Amino acid sequence: MSKSVLVGNVRIGGGAPIAVQTMTKTDTRDAKKTIEQIWRVYGAGCEIVRCAIPDMEAAKALSEIVKGSPIPVVADIHFDYRLALVSLEAGCHKLRLNPGNIKDKEKIRLVAREAKSRSVPIRVGVNAGSIKHTNNVSNEVVQIALEEVKILEDEDFRDIVVSVKTSDIKTTIEANRLLRKACDYPIHMGLTESGPLIQGLVRSSAALLPMLEEGIGDTIRVSLTEDPEAEVEAAWSMLETVGVRSFGPTIISCPTCGRTRQNLRGKLSEIRMALKGVKGKKIAVMGCEVNGPGEAKDADMGIAFGATKCVVFRGGNMIGTFDTDEAVRILIEMAKEDN
């Protein structure tokens, strides 16, 4: 089992549930907009949020952001150690340092001492894109991470999280396997620069699901060229797929076809929103009453949409046929009652 660190009130590692993270995509200097986005990702299930700190103004804005955030805030630091010091002063709950671009050991030690005095953990976050590497990238990112870890340990700093990310699926998996063998600090997992929504989801799933199956990873961020809420939803979906956590019900829905008579996507989204937080249920949302109930018989409960009426079923048995709105209401009530 990995060691654990406390990020604000969220534990990472040591057998704690894998924490879901994302990054804000607003200009951090605009504290109001950033806080608004944090509340939105919090609503989507985000447990730790990271903000880019590109300059002093952003580092200073962090103080207001931390106060307005319902979840722990991580300061993402590149190049300038002074941004880390100001972020610590602003009350950030964790620092992310990139060993690829803060190279002066004395400066890293200084940040470590300051973080230690405030009980703030540091993530050593190596990205293959930030380092000069040869052909053995997986090994190199791990070595660079471990060298940085050693600098922190020399300051008797142990509140460490490590990540080794690349944009290549196999390399990322291999690097994380090596990292897991090489140290027992919690691992922040992710595939970097994974791409736009669909491509990014496929690539991130290909990289992260095998790692989750192997028990590698203590906190997860799915990087997408998309709104951060989508990253959070994707992370939860992966955790649910491997059965390690559950944020809402497992919804199975048909792809729709020429038999579909209602707007299934709209209804599906209405049902999903209403059932956020309902855990451990498999709910089927099907596009027709001809095949729907049969195709979804393994679900705990479900609904099959006809032209104006819907069949509601539970445990494979039909409960009745109702007008659409009534049927949706009955399904939602049933799922909530049973929770």
23 part of the interface to ligand SF4, by CB under 6 A: no
15 part of the interface to ligand SF4, by CB under 6 A: no
Q: How far is the CB of 255 from ligand SF4 (least distance, A)?
A: 5
Torsional sign, CA 124, 128, 133, 138: positive
Q: Phi and psi dihedrals of 71, rounded to 5? A: -130, 160
Q: Which residue is listed with tokens 């063998």?
A: 181
- In the complex with ligand SF4, which residue's Cβ is closer, 11 or 259? 259
Structure tokens at 239: 């955790």
Q: How far is the CB of 141 from ligand SF4 (least distance, A)?
A: 44
- In the complex with ligand SF4, which residue's Cβ is closer, 289 or 300? 289
Structure tokens at 322: 């109702």
Q: How far is the CB of 286 from ligand SF4 (least distance, A)?
A: 4
For the beta carbon of residue 316, count every other beta carbon within 10 angstroms.
14
Q: How far is the CB of 280 from ligand SF4 (least distance, A)?
A: 24
Number of residues in contact with ligand SF4, rule: CB under 6 A? Answer: 13
Q: How many residues does the chain have?
A: 339
- In the complex with ligand SF4, which residue's Cβ is closer, 164 or 268? 268
* Distance of alpha carbon 92 from the chain centroid: 19
Q: Which residue is listed with tokens 């970097």?
A: 192
Asked if residues 251 and 299 have their Cβ atoms less than 8 Å apart, the reply is no
Q: How far is the CB of 294 from ligand SF4 (least distance, A)?
A: 8
- In the complex with ligand SF4, which residue's Cβ is closer, 56 or 307? 307
Angle between helices 137-154 and 169-182 in degrees, nearest 10: 40
Which of the residues 275 through 304 are near ligand SF4 (CB under 6 A)?
286-288, 290-292, 295
The Cα–Cα gap between 109 and 103 comes to: 11
256 part of the interface to ligand SF4, by CB under 6 A: yes
Counting runs of H as helices and runs of E as strands, what totals does the chain give?
Answer: 11, 15
Out of 254, 268, 332, 335, point to the residue binding ligand SF4 (CB under 6 A): 254
Out of 21, 166, 204, 260, point to the residue binding ligand SF4 (CB under 6 A): 260
Structure tokens at 48: 């730790």
Q: How far is the CB of 264 from ligand SF4 (least distance, A)?
A: 8
Binding site for ligand SF4 (CB under 6 A): 254-257, 259-260, 286-288, 290-292, 295
